[in-house]
């Protein structure tokens, strides 16, 4: 499931770079990515993660899940903003604000991941993350400014609108690891 989540992240990055990809395609990919990462997060408690790498892996999954939610709410908000009703603009603002909050949480999760032993250097954002870091803060603030008449405490929808529930395009196949090679059991690697 993790591989599928990362694969859809790459597809989303390609869609973002493609002038032919519509907002609907980008939203669908982002929503699928949320579902994959959610499934990974749900299955993690079944795995033994008591050692350092396990804790780091948990943080990685959390980071990618929150980042996926940020992307999904961003693209969902842009589509909602295309509507002509006051309600759709209000929901768009709520979705974009949720996207911005998830982006901040993603930055914190990334920092926690990189700070957890074995520590790693935090790379410069690239791909989908770079796009989100560049676009979400600008888009959220500009939509709020444009729709200031809608952005009053009594008109703003508190919770973000639900994301569309798309069926997953890919499903993992069952896979059994090959048997351990006997050489791995030798201490010095020689027979």
Backbone angles phi, psi at 163, to 5 degrees: -75, 150
- With b meaning 16 or more CB within 10 Å and e meaning fewer, what string describes 75-113? bbbbbbbeeeeeebbbbbbbbbbbbbbbbebbbebbeeb
Structural domain boundaries of the chain?
1-160
pTM of the model: 0.84
Digit-coded pLDDT (tens) for 86-144: 788 888 888 999 999 999 999 999 999 999 888 888 888 888 888 999 988 888 778 76
Distance (Å, whole) CA 75 – CA 61:
21
Query: Given this model, what pLDDT does residue 99 score?
Result: 94
CATH of domain 1-160: 1.25.40.280
């Amino acid at each position: 499931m993790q591989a599928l989540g990362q694969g859809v992240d790459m597809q989303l990055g390609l869609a973002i770079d493609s002038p032919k990809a519509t907002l609907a395609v980008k939203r669908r990919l982002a929503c699928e990515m949320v579902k994959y990462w959610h499934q990974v997060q749900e299955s993690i408690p079944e795995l033994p993660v008591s050692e350092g790498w396990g804790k780091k892996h948990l943080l990685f999954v959390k980071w990618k899940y929150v980042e996926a939610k940020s992307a999904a709410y961003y693209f969902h908000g842009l589509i909602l903003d295309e509507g002509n009703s006051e309600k759709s603009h209000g929901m768009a603002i709520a979705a974009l604000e949720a996207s911005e909050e998830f982006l901040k949480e993603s930055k914190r999760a990334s920092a926690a991941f990189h700070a957890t032993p074995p520590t790693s250097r935090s790379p410069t954002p690239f791909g989908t993350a770079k796009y989100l870091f560049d676009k979400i803060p600008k888009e959220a603030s500009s939509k709020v400014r444009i729709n200031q008449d809608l952005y009053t405490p009594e008109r703003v929808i508190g919770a973000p609108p639900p994301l569309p529930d798309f069926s997953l395009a890919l499903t993992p196949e069952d896979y059994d690891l090959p048997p351990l090679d006997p050489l791995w059991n030798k201490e010095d690697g020689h027979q």
